[in-house]
């Protein structure tokens, strides 16, 4: 039976001044390091044949995908369902401020990570409901290898789905900037081959 691979990438690095903040759908560009990370994967995957390349509609995801796919002549298919989780009123705020100013909400989030929605935002269950069906449809209908460039939350939801793991445990999955995950599809069987492979920006030209 023919085996296909799904390369699931997190976008490259964004502005480090946002470290320690909630970053959901705030539309931030790549840093120079983020571009180097994408260039690393362009080189590393140069011999992999992709039938389709998908990315979210946020600029950090689109730019990462375009760097990797630009020399291949494969158009990047923007897939809004792969947009990062909506954090509502918390988006862009320091996590320390949420903990100190909204202690009850922070406690509720910790007690029910899967279903808790920040004000005006989504839960991880909501995220899974929009991501997983589209992911499944793309995988089912595409031929050959796929590249999907998305976000930490989106990737974790897909990996939980692939592993049959509860969403409540999704933060046990590391997803660094520019990291690669590789899934193998054989028939209807989805198997995780590698996770959170980090680019070495030192090798980029």
- What is the crossing angle of helices 59-69 and 32-44, to 10°? 40
The string of pLDDT tens digits covering residues 92-104 is: 999 999 999 999 9
The string of pLDDT tens digits covering residues 31-83 is: 999 999 999 999 999 999 999 999 999 999 999 999 999 878 888 999 999 99
The string of pLDDT tens digits covering residues 25-37 is: 999 999 999 999 9
SS3 175: coil
Fold of 3-203: Rossmann fold (3.40.50)
**If pLDDT is split at 50, 70 and 90, which confidence band does 1 have?**
low
Q: Is 53 left (phi over 0), alpha (psi -120 to 50) or beta?
A: beta
Mean pLDDT in residue range 175-193 = 93
3 vs 198: which has the higher pLDDT: 198
Which stretches of the chain are assigned E, i.e. beta strand? 3-10, 50-55, 76-78, 145-150, 180-186, 189-197
Mean pLDDT in residue range 183-195 = 91
What percentage of the chain exceeds 70 in pLDDT? 97
Q: How far is CA 47 from CA 67, 89, 111, 115, 124, in A?
A: 15, 43, 45, 41, 35
- Residue 113 pLDDT exceeds 90: yes
- Residue 203 pLDDT exceeds 50: no
SS3 2: coil
The string of pLDDT tens digits covering residues 159-168 is: 999 999 999 9
């Amino acid at each position: 039976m023919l085996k296909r691979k799904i390369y699931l990438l997190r976008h490259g690095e964004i502005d480090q001044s946002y470290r320690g903040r909630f970053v959901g759908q705030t539309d931030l560009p790549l840093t120079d390091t983020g571009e180097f990370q994408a260039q690393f994967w362009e080189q590393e995957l140069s011999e992999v044949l992709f039938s389709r390349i998908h990315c979210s509609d946020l600029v950090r995801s689109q730019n990462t995908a375009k760097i990797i796919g630009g020399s291949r002549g494969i158009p990047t298919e923007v897939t809004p369902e792969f947009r990062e989780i909506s954090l509502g009123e918390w988006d862009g705020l320091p996590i320390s401020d949420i903990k100190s100013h909204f202690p009850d909400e922070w406690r509720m989030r910790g007690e029910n990570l899967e279903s808790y929605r920040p004000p005006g935002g989504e839960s991880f269950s909501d995220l899974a409901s929009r991501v997983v069906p589209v992911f499944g449809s793309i995988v089912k209908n595409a031929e050959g290898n796929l590249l999907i460039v998305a976000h930490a939350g989106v990737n974790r939801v897909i990996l939980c789905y692939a592993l049959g793991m509860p969403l409540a445990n999704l933060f046990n999955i590391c997803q660094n900037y520019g990291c690669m995950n590789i899934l193998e599809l054989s028939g209807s069987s989805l198997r995780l081959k590698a996770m959170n492979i980090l680019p070495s920006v030192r090798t980029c030209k």
